[in-house]
């Protein structure tokens, strides 16, 4: 047997550079690069291996220098999202706080079903120097380290305590990364002494290996049951989730919708499955949805969910599908999601399933009145959007006007990135999406701080598209460091920094639960009241962004915002456009509900009123069995 003598870390780097994914006959590099922040737990191992690769095999596994471990996982996850889960990046950190910083990113990737590979350093496998710097000591469990925090948020977890274990760990990791039904964060912990240990590896380990991503077709009997249910429908509705986009099934969805006339509503991850102006497109659904989609959902007798995991926002906390006889048909690559709401489960690839449904339903359609009324509802909502875009109020514009200005300026294939605060809900309702990859909102974990890092990863994955990051001041303050990475790599992202001096989303929510915006405004502590109700904090976020190396435009109106967007076109590096908005001007109402329990007893009248309203809305909630 031919062998190659390498350290464990060197073997990891050579192996990862040789991995490929394939779907529909097209191959992709599975691991396109490596983000890393180094410390004593990974510098001498993976750091040395990456340096060696950079010198002797340039381009084999490009190293990118990050500023925050959580952020680099977000960037890798965004990269994977834009590549439809066929390519990703690897992230390495030292043991200790560097590793646990990645846990939040791992949770996001797993919840969003997006592949990312994490290689945190770990404490000595030999325990020869215990306790090393940053080591957690558990007297009753000596094999536990802080990296065990990755276990519940990873789809695959392993710790390589001996070189011989690496082969099995790497192959198992690649299998999960390339399995659409099982993918998420994949974590391989590498003790720092093991990383530097040499071993004689079989040369076959480093051959190029292609991981084939299949398109499993649904079971014929399940397909027949689904077709029977759909043919019986009078007011059917399709709910398109992220699985439609990841499966590259948007064209198959369009054909099915046009043939059958079934209107299509979209989840956050599924927004863009149809162009906003398509006759069957009725917009966003659920708690952050449109009145058009939600009105149809309330009357729907059959709901065809495609690639959705049926989150509480999508179902408006299980209140939006109000027809007592409603039935569900669920197309999903994961059986776990396909059986939700006691639906007819079509387990399989979204594109394959939609094509099969189209073949079986090509002689069936909803009646013309239902088809035309759905289109009319969508047009009514589009007029609401137009009015929201025009709220250029004095002295401060509404957030919806900022969204409108960016949307109208951007090209159809440009990408908007967001994750948390009030912005994702407003974008879900208001953004007019024209391309399946034009809408990149992380709302499975809705992680504050994802936005700029996510924009970086999205641009790395699609360098031919302009990327517009929409971020509020709350999320910006959580994590803006990757602007420095964008400066270093000359990666152009245009960040629209919307400042409203607080947490606008939670401020709005607090009013619905009777808490009157408590703890949501950025204010000085008032010495008279002892509360945070003093003056606005003297913080200059535009100057902060400028200090990180970004090109900054300060704007005070929508007209100035439009001019800054035009000026940003000619920039080659990251741009930040700062604008203040009025947090009290909300987006149009979706005519839906979100279940956030309210205190049952209170001395506050606002809370008592909120609880009465909560009890009333709770009556609309259903299990869907």
Q: Are strands 236-240 and 264-266 parallel, antiparallel or unpaired?
A: parallel
* Cα-Cα end-to-end distance for the chain: 58
Task: Find the helix or strand (DSSP H, E) in which 345 lies.
Answer: strand 344-347
Tokens of 32: 């396109």
Q: CB 600: neighbour CB atoms within 10 A?
A: 10
Residue 524 lies in a domain: no
pLDDT level of residue 560 (50, 70, 90 thresholds): very high
Q: What is the CATH number of the domain that holds 545?
A: 3.40.50.970
Q: What is the DSSP string of 186-245?
A: EEEEEEHHHHT-EEEEEGGGGS-EEEE---PPPPHHHHHHHHHHHHT-SSEEEEE-HHHH
Kindly state whether residues 288 and 251 are assigned to the same domain. yes
Q: What is the CATH number of the domain that holds 315?
A: 3.40.50.1220
Taken in order 217, 222, 227, 230, the sign of the CA dihedral is negative
Kindly state whether residues 146 and 189 are assigned to the same domain. yes
pLDDT per residue as tens digits for the range 493-509: 999 999 988 776 676 77
Question: What is the percentage of the chain residues whose pLDDT exceeds 70?
Answer: 99
Residue 592 lies in a domain: no
Match 């930040």 to its residue by tokens: 576
3-class DSSP state of 421: coil
Kindly state whether residues 310 and 354 are assigned to the same domain. yes
Q: Are strands 3-7 and 198-202 parallel, antiparallel or unpaired?
A: antiparallel
pLDDT per residue as tens digits for the range 159-215: 999 999 999 999 999 999 999 999 999 999 999 999 999 999 999 999 999 999 999
Where is pLDDT greater, at 515 or 418?
Answer: 418
Match 């900022």 to its residue by tokens: 402
Residue 593 lies in a domain: no
How many angstroms separate the CA atoms of 284 and 71, rounded?
Answer: 28
Kindly state whether residues 542 and 398 are assigned to the same domain. yes
Q: CB-based burial of residue 613 (10 Å sphere; 0-12 exposed, 13-18 middle, 19+ buried)?
A: middle
Closest residue by Cα to residue 177 from 118, 116, 107? 116
Domain count, the chain: 3
Tokens of 406: 């960016």
pLDDT per residue as tens digits for the range 103-155: 999 999 999 999 999 999 999 999 999 999 998 998 889 999 999 999 999 99
Kindly state whether residues 435 and 363 are assigned to the same domain. no
Residue 595 lies in a domain: no
Across all residues in the chain, what is the average pLDDT? Answer: 95
Residue 616 lies in a domain: no
Within 13 Å, how many C-alpha atoms sit on residue 231's CB side? 14
Closest residue by Cα to residue 598 from 532, 522, 503, 516? 516
How many angstroms separate the CA atoms of 533 and 524, rounded?
Answer: 6
Residue 622 has pLDDT above 80, yes or no: yes
pLDDT per residue as tens digits for the range 527-545: 999 999 899 899 999 999 9
Least confident of 28-32, 320-324, 593-597: 593-597
Kindly state whether residues 50 and 199 are assigned to the same domain. yes
Q: CB 244: neighbour CB atoms within 10 A?
A: 30
pLDDT per residue as tens digits for the range 384-439: 999 999 999 878 999 999 999 999 999 999 999 999 988 999 999 999 999 999 99
pLDDT at residue 421 in the model = 87
pLDDT at residue 506 in the model = 72
Tokens of 538: 């003297």
3-class DSSP state of 274: coil
Kindly state whether residues 250 and 203 are assigned to the same domain. no
Kindly state whether residues 208 and 225 are assigned to the same domain. no
Q: What is the DSSP string of 68-86?
A: -HHHHHHHHHHHHHHTTTS
Residue-number span of the structural domain to which 102 is assigned: 3-212
């Amino acid at each position: 047997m031919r062998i190659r003598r390498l350290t464990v870390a060197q073997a990891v780097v050579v192996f990862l550079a040789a991995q490929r994914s394939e779907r529909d006959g097209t191959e992709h590099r599975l691991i396109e690069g490596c983000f890393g922040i180094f410390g004593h737990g990974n510098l001498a191992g993976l750091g040395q291996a990456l340096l060696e690769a950079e010198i002797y095999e340039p381009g084999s596994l490009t190293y990118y220098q990050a500023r925050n471990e959580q952020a680099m996982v977000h960037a890798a996850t965004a990269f994977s999202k834009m590549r439809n889960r066929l390519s990703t990046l690897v992230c390495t950190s030292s043991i200790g706080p560097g590793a646990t910083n990645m846990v939040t990113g791992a949770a996001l990737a797993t919840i969003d079903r997006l592949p990312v590979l994490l290689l945190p350093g770990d404490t000595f496998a030999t325990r020869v120097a215990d306790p090393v710097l940053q080591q957690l000591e558990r007297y009753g469990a000596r094999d536990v380290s802080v990296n065990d925090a990755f276990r519940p948020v990873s789809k695959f977890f392993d710790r390589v305590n001996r070189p011989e274990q690496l082969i099995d760990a790497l192959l198992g990791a690649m299998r999960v990364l390339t399995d659409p039904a099982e993918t998420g964060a994949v974590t391989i912990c590498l003790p720092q002494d093991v990383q530097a240990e040499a071993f004689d590896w079989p040369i076959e380990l480093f051959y190029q290996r292609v991981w084939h991503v299949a398109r499993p077709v649904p079971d014929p009997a399940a397909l027949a049951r689904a077709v029977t249910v759909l043919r019986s429908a009078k007011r059917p509705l399709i709910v398109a989730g992220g699985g439609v986009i990841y499966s590259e099934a948007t064209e198959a969805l369009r054909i099915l919708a046009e043939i059958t006339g079934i209107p299509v509503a979209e989840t956050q991850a599924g927004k863009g499955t149809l162009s906003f102006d398509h006759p069957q497109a009725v917009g966003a659904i659920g708690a952050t949805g449109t009145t058009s989609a939600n009105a149809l959902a309330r009357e729907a007798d059959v709901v065809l969910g495609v690639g959705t995991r049926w989150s509480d926002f999508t179902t408006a906390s299980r209140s939006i599908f109000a027809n007592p006889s409603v039935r569900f048909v669920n197309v999903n690559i994961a059986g776990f999601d396909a059986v939700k709401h006691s639906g007819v489960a079509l387990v399989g690839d979204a594109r394959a399933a939609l094509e099969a449904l189209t073949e079986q339903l090509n002689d069936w359609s909803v009646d013309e009145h239902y088809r035309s009324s759905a289109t009319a509802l969508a047009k009514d909502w589009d007029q609401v959007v137009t009015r929201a875009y025009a709220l250029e109020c004095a002295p401060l514009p509404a957030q919806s006007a900022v969204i409108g200005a960016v949307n109208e300026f951007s090209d159809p294939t440009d990408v908007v990135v967001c994750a948390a605060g009030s912005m994702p809900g407003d974008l879900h309702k208001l953004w007019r999406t024209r391309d399946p990859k034009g809408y990149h909102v992380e709302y499975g974990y809705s992680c504050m701080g994802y936005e700029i890092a996510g924009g970086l990863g999205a641009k790395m994955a699609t360098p031919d598209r302009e990327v517009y990051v929409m971020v509020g001041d709350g999320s910006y303050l959580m994590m803006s460091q990757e602007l420095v990475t964008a400066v270093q790599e000359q990666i152009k992202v245009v960040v629209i920094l919307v400042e409203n001096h607080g947490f606008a989303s939670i401020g709005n929510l607090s009013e619905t639960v009777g808490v009157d915006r408590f703890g949501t405004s950025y204010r000085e502590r008032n010495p008279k009241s002892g509360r945070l109700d003093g003056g606005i904090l003297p913080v200059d976020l535009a100057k902060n962004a400028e200090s990180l190396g970004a090109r900054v435009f300060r704007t005070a109106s929508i007209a100035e915002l439009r001019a800054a967007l035009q000026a940003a076109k000619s920039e080659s590096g990251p741009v930040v456009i700062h604008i203040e908005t009025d947090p009290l001007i909300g987006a149009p109402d979706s005519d839906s509900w979100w279940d956030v329990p309210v205190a049952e007893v209170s001395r506050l009248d606002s809370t008592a009123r909120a609880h009465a309203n909560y009890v009333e809305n709770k009556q609309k909630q259903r299990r869907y069995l």
